A = this chain, B = another copy of it.
Amino acid sequence: MKENEYQIIEGGITAPQGFEAASHAAGIKYEGRDDMALIYTTTPAVSAGVYTQNVVKAAPVLWDRAITENESKVSAVIINSGIANACTGEPGMNICEQTAQAVASAVNGQKNQVLVASTGVIGMQIDVEKIVAGSKALLLKKQPTKEAGTQAAQAIMTTDTHKKEIAVTFELDGKSICLGAMCKGSGMIHPNMCTMLGFVTTDAAIEKKALQKALSTVVTDTFNMISVDGDTSTNDTLVVLANGNAGNTVITEDSAAYQTFEKILHMVCEYLAKQMAGDGEGATALVEATVMNAKCKEDARLMAKSIICSSLTKAAIFGHDANFGRILCAMGYSGAIFDQNKVEMYYESNAGRILIFNNGVAADYSEEEATKILSEPEVRILADMHEGDATATAWGCDLSYDYVKINADYRS
């Protein structure tokens, strides 16, 4: 997609017309910070969602899936951080229902127009009074402002070190369309369908079927290609709401506008996915692995993802150590079949690019130069397989002392 076809603007979920947001300190688990957020659309929106493939699904995942899979439109999303409402049995499902009912009653709507999402500790029960009171407070505070969107993006953070949001505008049949988005995710990140919690809002008019198709398509090469620690969460949720306020001709799967919409959505999701990978728990570097000229797309994906998942590769990058054998090893156990003698491998960053492996043996590279390249905050690993024309990219982060520290102490 050419850069002059779209424009990145400031803001996030409230950038599209008709969307409002709010955040609130409900004391679900954290003290002294906002821990609930609301996304609200003045015009009920068409929705699409992708959710964790983990057999153990959190209650909100079950609740939202039932809604986004049917034809009802969505008016609001209530999100809390601190407690994940996962492994909480029937009481956990009741929390979802009572939260949605409280919101629906306040806006004269139906409970199946309200999505809920939770992130935090697994196994703890949420206090229903706190989340219901928090939901009502959010409805009173909601605003269409940029600040309200940003505060919502902050309220959903757990171990994230910074908020993750983006807004993009582009044109479709003479109408200006806007996409806004926010997400959170830092640990337990190895999405299988999508990531921890991600929300995209748009004022585009689009058919539900086309929206779900676009979302499912872009997730494969964006959120599903990142990993922080190989742990696929119980709560992974990515939802898109499209309220049609832009007034464009309704996008269908067959319309020319569909391709444009999908490309913009891909760009937005890739941006958020990279933000999450780079903000992995304890991370000092974003690691991007691109496998090119592989036999087929699936092999390229397997190898790229295996590289960024390898604990040993991640630790080596934390140590700025050009230990390329660990990368080849990770490609080798990925499940893809290849000829190691054809592999040509490079390290690359803003400090330069260096050939490290070729013709089945180590290249004659300078360790000093490699260390310099690996000391940058964004490091790329490029593997040219010379066996076909398929390419895939995956994103992860290094493995640091702080990952251990954060996760040894997380609940305390």
Contact = CB atoms under 8 A, between A and B. Distances in A.
Given A87-B362, A124-B362, A312-B231, A333 B404 contact: no
Copies of this chain, how many?
2
Interface string A300-343: 00000000011110011011010111101111111011101100
B233 A329 contact: yes
A399 interface: yes
A89 to B, nearest CB: 3
A190 B309 CA distance: 13
B89 A360 contact: yes
A230 B407 contact: no
B55 A311 contact: no
A106 interface: no
Contacts of A135: none
B87 A340 contact: yes
A333 B192 contact: yes
A187 B333 contact: no
Nearest to A54: B332
A107 interface: no
A56 B319 contact: no
A86, A318, A329: most-surrounded residue (chain B CB, <10 A): A329
A100 B325 CA distance: 25
A232 interface: yes
A30 interface: no
B407 A53 contact: no
Given A231-B312, A359-B89, A408 B340 contact: no
Contacts of A362: 87, 123-125
Contact of A408 (B315, B329, B337, B359): B315
Given A122-B328, A325-B122, A401-B401, A341 B89 contact: yes
Contact of A319 (B311, B338, B401, B409): B409
14 contacts: A53-B333, A56-B332, A56-B340, A90-B360, A122-B329, A230-B310, A231-B310, A231-B329, A231-B330, A232-B329, A318-B408, A319-B407, A319-B410, A399-B407
A-B pairs, top 7 by smallest CB distance, nearest first, are A122-B325, A319-B408, A56-B332, A89-B360, A315-B407, A232-B333, A123-B325
Interface of A: 53-57, 84, 86-91, 121-125, 187-188, 190, 192, 229-234, 309-312, 315-316, 318-319, 321, 323-326, 328-334, 336-338, 340-341, 357, 359-362, 399-401, 403-412
